[in-house]
Structure 1
Amino acid sequence: MTSSTSPVGEADGFYQFHDHDDAAHLHALGYESEFKRDMSPWANFSLGFTYLSPVVGVYTLFAYALATGGPPMIWSFVIVGLGQLMVALVFSEVVAQYPVAGGVYPWARRLWGRRYAWMTGWVYLIALLVTIASVVYGAGPYIAAAFGFEATVDNVIVCALVLLALATAINFMGTKVLAMAALIGFTAEIIGALVVGGWLLIAHREHGLGALFDSFGAGDGGSYLPAFAAAALIGVYQYYGFEACGDVAEEVPDPGRLIPKAMRRTIYIGGAAATFVCLALVLSVTDIGAVIAGEDTDPVSTLLNDAFGTTGARVVLLVVLLSFLSCAMSLQAAASRLAYSYGRDGMIMGSSLLKRFSPTRHVPPYALVVAAVVPALIVVGSKVSTDAITKIISFAALGIYIGFQMVVLAALRARLKGWVPSGKYTLGRWGLPVNVAALVYGIVAMVNMAWPRTPDVSWYDNWIVALSGVVVIAVGLVYMAVHPLHDRSTAPYDDAIPKKGTAGR
């Protein structure tokens, strides 16, 4: 369906569109929205950018990636960026036709059906909640460094919970405040990335570009491919967030046209910024060999202190912390809209609470509570595991990718059964090859994430990422069998594929 959303004026730097056209499109899809369309195109992009967050992604896993794969690990940003661009293009076609809050769940619902959509949303929601936990947990050491106290396990947990509470408070203030916070976060992060990275390259560069092709002994002298594949987690963890632009589709004017643009901008600008930050850090590390040997376990803090001094490093870290806050805030927004979408369709136990809406703040309060409480429990539970952050991030990335690829697979199936994207953004004849490429990339990436790489530990620890994915899916299947609310949901589903005797729906 298309609608006549012509611009009627300009305010606050972006075009305003007829709200009734967006409402009519949504009504034709079977919904009446309670959200306010207060999110500008740049705010929508900023939400995706701060979720992707170049600074958070790079700073969180830089030490691990450099120690595991050496400087060539930076090429994972290019490989993963191209793969995820294919996924983003597929998503763009779907969201243009179905601009409904909740992202992957309603997309899978329209492309395939209720049960498939339930599992897609379940895996993605769990992964989002784990990702929120990983972001606030990853911020803990930087909070400690910024404020000058020791980053013990207990201190990191407390810092993570404080950051989570602050992100939740911002989300409770409504779409307009969320949009403003996302813009502020984007501005601070992009300026911080350019200033810090530029200064490091100008005044503190220790290596030439040739270092990017030198493993510095990473990989224990054998084949380098396994080491690179393991280190590539930094790239894999980096390139998601663009889907958040679609999670808030009911809060954006003219979403069928503007959200696909925001998704692509997130990949282009976010990927370029992340690669630049990583490049600056790699070329400025004084002793890469010490990082690979495990003698320098926190090369980012070491580098910032050397380059900016104690006071300057703390200023930089404050900007980094703002990036972590913005990222957690954007993740919560995405998770809460997904939970709300489940509740609105009556798909899960507690739907009556999840679908409740604040008439003053125009946000789903109970869905936001879920997006705060569950990550808090995961953060507290991390105390029982060694190397918690890497394990948490590994499953978070796998779960997100499973959710992504379930949509990509649903789109491919629908396409082969006759679905022709009819939104304001389509790939035309490139749709099928791009869809296939996105699926192949995603499968390879998931196998890489789940591959066991620590044979010296217990078997269950070695297979922790794959096992976590299996457990989440198994729990979802058991829930679906015991409490099959999804089969009684009356919201529209399975209408992308033309039915026999019709020209399409």
Structure 2
Amino acid sequence: MSATEQETQAASGSARVRPPGGTAGPASSAEDAELLAALGYEQKFDRKVSLWANFALGFVYLSPLVGVVSLFATGLATAGGPAVFWIAIVGVGQFLVALVFGEVVSQFPLAGGLYQWVRRLWNGRYAWFTAWTYISCITIGITSTALYSSDFVASLFAGTAHDPGVSSTPTERLFIAIGMTVFCLVCNCFGTRTLALISKIGLAAELIGIVLVGLYLLIFERHNSVSIFFDGSSSNHDGYFGAFIAASLVGLFLFYGFEACGELAEEVPNPSRSIPRAMQLTVAVGGVAALLAFVGYALAAPDLASILAGKDSNPIPAILQGSLGTVGTKLVLMVTLTSFIAGVMSQQAAASRITFSFARDDMFPGARLFSRVSSKRRVPLNALLAVNVLPLLIFVFVYFSPDSLNKIAAFQMLAGYAAFMMVVLAALRMRLKGWRPAGAWTLGRWGFVVNVAALAYGVLGMVLLAWPTGDSGTPLVDRWIALIGFLLVSAVGLLYLLAAKPERNSTAPEGDALEVAERLRARAATTAPTTGGKRA
């Protein structure tokens, strides 16, 4: 390769790093590989996930289309039209969290995201428990997303003009969920390029399904007044305040997934700059899209009363049928199915990367097995296979207990928020010790204020997610199922942590966030004259 070709590839972020011996390594710019080496790791992945592909990955993980169609009926039956305001409330709160994450990932653009961040912000033991909590959340996320897709698959292939909203049977739900998971797993095994491509397709499908359909419903198919969004009537609660608080799940279940942008940090060119932007775009664009979809479906519902009364648990196909006809409904259901596929794939990818990162530091049982990256596809195949075992087992459990899906999802979100707040708390602790983020993207003097606000929001969100659901006649375990599930999983993780003490065997690079920040600043000052003043 000529010097000119090498310079061209380096400028485009696609130059190959050649390790000793001359064998071509994974595709990566020299600057990105050097930054990774400065953080103590060797480049093993191909950096083929562009800014837009990274944004698409987070967006389809958050998946406003999937979130809205899954929670639309629940939100309206719980608190009526005002449930839509939770999308805006939670969106603002999660944007604060995304800003904090952006500063951290900019300094530590490492595969495994949350685990790597808190290990430098606190210590190995704290990082292990954070990763345990987060992996539990994502594996359950794979499960719930695949299971929620079953009714839409059934409506796509079995729905008719007279009965477009078909609910899947337990057997159909089992086989659809297994098929969805296995299909997405196979696609993920083909590597980062395939993941990026399907994420982009999923992003396009989401935007078509939300923007075009949402605008069409708002402009041409309005059957209800906008006053429904300010009407406090609800069939499920005596007092409206309680109903509105219960409807917080509409927003809380919707806004997560932006952290997946950071899980693939070692597969993204110039990650210190592009990943914070991708996270912020995910929350902002996802929030606007979710609002548009929710409002459009609510105003176009031909039988809003039955949805508010909780009699229609799958109203989206009927709304589409009444507005778009059979052909239009089938097309939108196909778009929705594409979003489900992209969402499951992104969750699998995020879970496998954090498992890989965990194992790379010898902090995970079977570390040597799960830290391997395939030489051809540059994918942690063993980790990818492992994170899909638990979802397959849970599918069987849900088959015998069909009512357990929402309970599983409730635990999933509480665990996810807990893992988020462990990062936010660790960042605030390090700030109080004098840490000034040294990444290419920072909040400057606003960092502390945003960090405190994000922590306050997150704690409130955890309280709402742990709050008992149902009425006084609901069994005690069912009312507190999210908190009980979280405490059980946490207890198992803590017992293993205390008994095995995996942090003692860790081979992770030394240095906390303060020390790393100083090293990076010194490195930037040293390399600035030879890189045209660019920050590494």
TM-score range, shorter chain: over 0.9
Matches within 5 A, 1:168-317: 168-222=185-239, 224-317=240-333
AA aligned to 1:166 is F
Q: Secondary structure at the match of 1:387?
A: helix
- Shift in Å, 1:389: 2.6
AA aligned to 1:231 is A
> Residue 70 of structure 1 contacts residue 215 of structure 1 at CA under 8 Å; is this kept in 2?
yes
> Residue 136 of structure 1 contacts residue 163 of structure 1 at CA under 8 Å; is this kept in 2?
yes
Q: CA RMSD in A?
A: 2.1
Q: 2:68 aligns with which of 28, 38, 58?
A: 58
Q: 1:29 aligns to what?
A: 39
AA aligned to 1:59 is V
Distance 1:36 1:281, change over 3 A: same
> Residue 112 of structure 1 contacts residue 493 of structure 1 at CA under 8 Å; is this kept in 2?
no
Deviation beyond 4 Å, 4+ runs, structure 1: 5-12, 501-505
Matches within 5 A, 1:346-361: 346-361=362-377
Distance 1:6 1:421, change over 3 A: farther
- Shift in Å, 1:287: 2.7
Q: 2:413 aligns to what?
A: 397
> Residue 113 of structure 2 contacts residue 354 of structure 2 at CA under 8 Å; is this kept in 1?
yes
Q: Say whether residues 1:466 and 2:476 are aligned partners.
A: no
AA aligned to 1:324 is F
Q: 2:268 and 2:465 mapped to 1: Cα distance?
A: 34
Q: 2:153 aligns with which of 140, 143, 146?
A: 143
What TM-score results when the alignment is normalised by the length of structure 2?
A: 0.89
User: For 1:237-290, what per-residue CA distance to the aligned partner results, in whole angstroms no more than 9, with x for missing partners?
Assistant: 111111111100000011001111111111111111111111101111123221
> Residue 137 of structure 1 contacts residue 156 of structure 1 at CA under 8 Å; is this kept in 2?
yes
Larger Rg: 2
Q: Say whether residues 1:339 and 2:360 are aligned partners.
A: no
How many aligned residue pairs are there?
Answer: 495
> Residue 48 of structure 1 contacts residue 243 of structure 1 at CA under 8 Å; is this kept in 2?
yes
- Please say which of residues 86-95 and 289-298 is displaced more in the overlay: 289-298
User: For 1:323-348, what per-residue CA distance to the aligned partner results, in whole angstroms no more than 9, with x for missing partners?
Assistant: 00000001111000000001101001
Matches within 5 A, 1:477-492: 477-492=494-509
Q: 2:445 and 2:491 mapped to 1: Cα distance?
A: 38
Q: 1:389 and 1:255 mapped to 2: Cα distance?
A: 36
- Shift in Å, 1:383: 2.4
AA aligned to 1:489 is S
Q: 1:194 and 1:143 mapped to 2: Cα distance?
A: 22
> Residue 73 of structure 2 contacts residue 310 of structure 2 at CA under 8 Å; is this kept in 1?
no
Q: 2:434 aligns with which of 418, 421, 443?
A: 418
AA aligned to 1:180 is L
Distance 1:477 1:493, change over 3 A: farther
Q: Say whether residues 1:79 and 2:74 are aligned partners.
A: no
- In structure 1, stretches of 5+ residues that fail to align are none
Percent identity reads 44
Distance 1:6 1:465, change over 3 A: farther
User: For 1:356-400, what per-residue CA distance to the aligned partner results, in whole angstroms no more than 9, with x for missing partners?
Assistant: 110001000011002222211112211233432321221111111
Q: Say whether residues 1:111 and 2:108 are aligned partners.
A: no
- Shift in Å, 1:493: 5.0
Q: 1:41 aligns with which of 40, 43, 51?
A: 51
- In structure 2, stretches of 5+ residues that fail to align are 1-6, 15-26, 160-166, 523-536
What TM-score results when the alignment is normalised by the length of structure 1?
A: 0.94
Q: Secondary structure at the match of 1:253?
A: coil
- Shift in Å, 1:494: 5.2
Q: 1:169 and 1:463 mapped to 2: Cα distance?
A: 37
Q: 1:439 aligns to what?
A: 455
